[in-house]
Every structure is written in C-alpha cells, then in structure tokens.
A and B are shown apart, each in its own frame.
Chain A
Amino acid sequence: MATATPKASEPGTAFEPLSVAFAQNPYPAYAALRDLGEPQFFPDFGMWLVARFDDVASIARDNSMVRSPEFFMSHEEIEAEKRAQNWHDMPHHSRFVQFSMLDSDGEVHDRLRKQVFREFTPVFIARQRGMIQSFVDKLVDGLIDKGEIDFVEDLAAQVPGHIIGRVLGVPDEDCPQLRVWSENVVKFFDINRTDERKAIAEKATTEFYHYLQKLMTQRRAAPQEDLITRLIAAQDAGHLNEDELVSTCMLILMAGHGSTIDVLGSGMHALLRFPDQMERLRQDPGLIHTAIQEMFRFESPLPFFHRYSTTDCVVGGKAFPRGTKFGLLYGAANRDPAAFGDDAGSFDVGRNPNRHLAFGGGAHFCLGNHLARLDMEVIFTTLIKRLKSISLAEVEPQYKPGLSVRGPKALRLTLTPA
C-alpha cells in the first residue's frame, strides 16, 4: 500500500491503516503523526492527515471548513474525484448516502438538522430511559446464567439499533435487518473500496430505500408518535423533500448502529484492561458519566472524518490553499498529551474536564451523543449491579481493521452473577 506518512523508524509507528498491527493498536502510529507536527499527505485518500488536538479541534469547529466539495469544485471535478475514489455508478448510494445532513454544509445542513435535533436533546432522550432499561434487563436476563458470552454480538449489538429503530418508528422485528444494511453501507466508507463491496453497499442502500418507502406509506395512512411521522409532517410543510427525508432516516439509523456498538465493546475492554478503574466504578457508580465520556476519548469509535478548506489556511504551521482536503484523526487528537496531560494514554473513569473530540465539533457535532451515552449508561450500570465479576475469556480481542471505525470484532467475557 502506498503510504508517505510517516517513515517508520520505530516498529508499529508506520501509518498503515489496513494492517493488523494498526487495527490492534493504532496509537503508536498516531503518536508518530502528532510528533511530526505539521499535517502529512496520505495518498490513499488524497488528503492531509491532522493529528494534534489543537489543529483537529480548530478545523472541526471552523465553519469555513466544510464537508462537501461543491463550494469550490465544479460538477465535473466532483465526478472525477468520485471516480478516483471508486465512489461512482451507485445511483441509490449517491442519492441517499453520499448526500446527507452529514455531507452538506451551511443552510442545507442547518435546515436538515433543525428537523430532527429536538428528538436528540437531553430532555427528549431522557424519556427513552425506561424503554432502554426494560429492553436491557430482558437481554441481561437471558445472558446472565450463560457463563460465557460474546459481549459485542450478544449484548452491545442488540441495543443501539433497536433503540434508534424505536425512536424512528421501525417495528422491533425489522431492526436486525436494518443493522445488516447499515453495516453493508458503512463498510464501503473505508479505504478498501473494492467493486465487490461497492455492489454490496449499493444493494443494501436500494433495499433500505424500498423498506423506508413502504414504512413512509404506512405512516402517511396511519400516523404514529414517532420521528418518521414527524418528518413526514415536516415534508408536507415544505421543510425538506422526499430524498432528504429518506437520506436523513438512513443517516440516523446508520449513525445509531455501529459506533455505539463499537464503543460499548472497546469501553468494556478498557474496563477489563484497567481493573482498578472497573473497581473504582463499582465502588462509586456516580462516576458512570465521566466513565462514559472517557470511553469515547480513550477509544474514539469514529476516529476519522474529513473537511475541505474553503479559504487559504494555515494548519500546524504549514500553509494550505483553498480546496485542501484534511483528514481529522480524532483518535490521535484524543490521546494528545498536549491536551490531556502525560496520562493521555491511561484510562481514567473520573477524568474531568474531558473535552475530547470523539463526537466531532462545530456544526456537525454528533447529534446522537446523548442517546449513545444513555444506551451505555444503562448497559454498564445494569451489568455492574447484576454481576459480581466480569472477566475477559480470551487473550487478545481482535479489533476491526481500517481507518474509519474502531472497536473489537468480538469480546468474549466470563460472567459471574451477583
């Protein structure tokens, strides 16, 4: 694989995001990038990687740094770039996934975000607590006497998609299928965009679209107390069109699946790797909020997002022209000792303040952060209360490869009920 960055002088510090070494521990490579100071060019993605906390934070929070290249590229240039990234000839993916609130800016982004943001604010999310608790209690009832479980598949993967499905208005029995579609679409985001993955992503998007069309028809005939019904009302009021509605639903469902599953897995793994911190949380369950905040910092589940500059700019002391594409390495920024001190590499459930960038920053700040936190709070609090001990039943859990996600593929645990 072609990598210009950085030259590996120390083992494990080469920036090779598809390697097993990077999947298992990307932090030495991130540290090497931070140490280089100025952004480094990464040819695989045609972008400049930014690793230091201050640089990543200032780009993420800067409204002149945008997600969509349409502010400075012609339609032809955008199509050419899409072809270069094997991001072309995907009619439904292009219509509903490549276009979204996440990949729009300015007025379009603000208008779309406004249609859904209330549903994800603390007051609205807090209303889901009872529903989440009873769902998690039932799952734990079925697992507690099993002795050994895969925490990722048996528990983590069952919760976020089900909860976000309920918020949107998807019937429970359809939630497992939504997870499959979401994963097939998201897998294509990483650097290894093979034609095979492309076909799978386009097929998943198409099926997902047809499913949502059917659900929207049902809600039009019989409105319910759910987000999809409210979005249909917003469409009728002229606030968004049908493609935007479908795209927003897909974005919410996809964003509500994988990343929370990943950070549940890596958060549990962190508690097991730092048993003193697990014990501290057991002794003082009031630490759950700072513990969750720390899980997001320590193993940021979406460690990488891009921005384009719409003006000439200086990043990390180096000048860049308008139209430069930057890769923001949240996973690297969140371990930067310059922002989090010499113990940035340690997992501290009481860390406060903890102003990490795992939810991004600026106008695109993660809409679902409170829902993700509530899912996690209920799961960890319930497990700690109902289990006398949780221990790792495998030597070295394997992490997912690639740059765009971070989380264990599986996490085998031994459970001892209280």
Chain B
Amino acid sequence: MYRVTFVDADGQATELTANEGQSVMSVAVANGIDQILAECGGSCACGTCHCYVDESWTEKLPAADDSEQGMIECLMNPTDRSRLTCQLKMSAALDGLVVHLPREQY
C-alpha cells in the first residue's frame, strides 16, 4: 500500500492509500475526491482528472506521453506541473505523492 495526498483549492489535504499500479484518478474517485471528475473513466479522452503535482514531486514522475501532453495543453489553466491523474500509476517510487486540485475541471 502506498500513500497519496490530494490538496483541494482551499488547501484542505486528504491522505489516502493506493495499491501498486492503481491510478491516482481511481484512488480519488473511489474515495469521494469529487474535484476529480474522470468522466471518460481513464482513457486520456476527456481531460477532467487534471491535477497540479506538488513542486517537490515534479522531478520524480515519469514524463507525460504525447496523448497526455496534447490533452494538458488544451485544459483550463494548465501549468508546467499539470498532469492527468488517470495517467499516474502508483508505485514505490510515487509513495507519498502530493497533488493539488483545481477548483473546477472546466
């Protein structure tokens, strides 16, 4: 079991546990983190599971692939810390990950 923390737009933090290989999106959806809409269910097709990775983690994550990067560029308010939580899979390397949530996904 790994830990992942979601910080909402008001600064409220929620720490949750995740299994090996589980997407950060599915951790959020399964635990009532309602700011992650994840409307397409994890196919990188809707752009509604946007998060801002905490500064302390940006260097440690695998880079976004072309389809994720293409989607991020077209989201509301993207930054260089933007990621889609459906594409972030939990592993020992990501244990303790902290992500920040936008107030709205679109």
Contacts from A to B (Cβ < 8 Å): 57, 60-61, 63, 110, 113-114, 117-118, 121-124, 126, 289, 352-353, 355, 359, 361-365, 369-370
Contact = CB atoms under 8 A, between A and B. Distances in A.
Given A122-B47, A365-B39, 11 more contacts: A61-B43, A110-B67, A121-B47, A123-B75, A353-B37, A355-B29, A355-B39, A361-B40, A362-B45, A365-B45, A370-B106
A289 B105 CA distance: 11
Contacts of B37: 353, 355
B94 interface: no
A361 B40 CA distance: 4
A353 B74 contact: no
A61 B41 contact: yes
Contacts of A118: 70, 74
Contacts of A365: 39-41, 43, 45-46
13 contacts: A110-B67, A118-B74, A122-B106, A353-B37, A355-B29, A355-B37, A359-B39, A361-B39, A361-B41, A361-B43, A362-B45, A363-B45, A364-B45
Tell which of A60, A289, A365 has the most Cβ of chain B within 10 Å. Answer: A365
B106 A57 contact: no
A369 B74 contact: no
A67 B38 CA distance: 22
Contacts of A113: 45
Contacts of A353: 32, 34, 37
A122 B40 contact: no
A66 to B, nearest CB: 13
B63 interface: no
A122 B75 contact: yes
A362 B41 contact: yes
Nearest to A122: B106
Contacts of A364: 45
A118 B74 CA distance: 7
Contact of A63 (B32, B43, B70, B106): B43
Contacts, number: 63
Contacts of B43: 61, 63, 361-363, 365
A60 B41 contact: yes
B70 A355 contact: no
B39 A123 contact: no
A123 B67 CA distance: 17
Contact of B71 (A60, A63, A121, A126): A121
4 tightest A-B CB contacts, nearest first: A121-B74, A365-B40, A61-B41, A122-B106
Interface string B79-105: 000000000000000000000000010
A365 B42 CA distance: 10
Contacts of B74: 117-118, 121-124
A122 B78 CA distance: 12
Tell which of A289, A361, A363 has the most Cβ of chain B within 10 Å. Answer: A361
B104 to A, nearest CB: 8
B76 interface: yes
Contacts of A61: 40-43
Contact of B40 (A124, A352, A362, A370): A362
Nearest to B46: A365
A351 B12 CA distance: 22
Interface string B33-76: 01001111111011100000000000000000001001100111
B33 to A, nearest CB: 9
A361 B34 CA distance: 18
Nearest to B74: A121
Nearest to A363: B43
Contacts of B45: 113, 362-365
Contacts of A369: 39, 46
A126 B67 CA distance: 21
Nearest to B105: A122
B4 to A, nearest CB: 19
Contacts of A124: 74
A118 B75 CA distance: 10
Contacts of A359: 39-40, 46
A259 B46 CA distance: 18
A86 to B, nearest CB: 32
Contacts of A122: 47, 74-76, 106
A123 B76 contact: yes
Nearest to A360: B40
Contacts of B47: 121-122
Nearest to A124: B74
A364 B40 CA distance: 8
A407 to B, nearest CB: 21
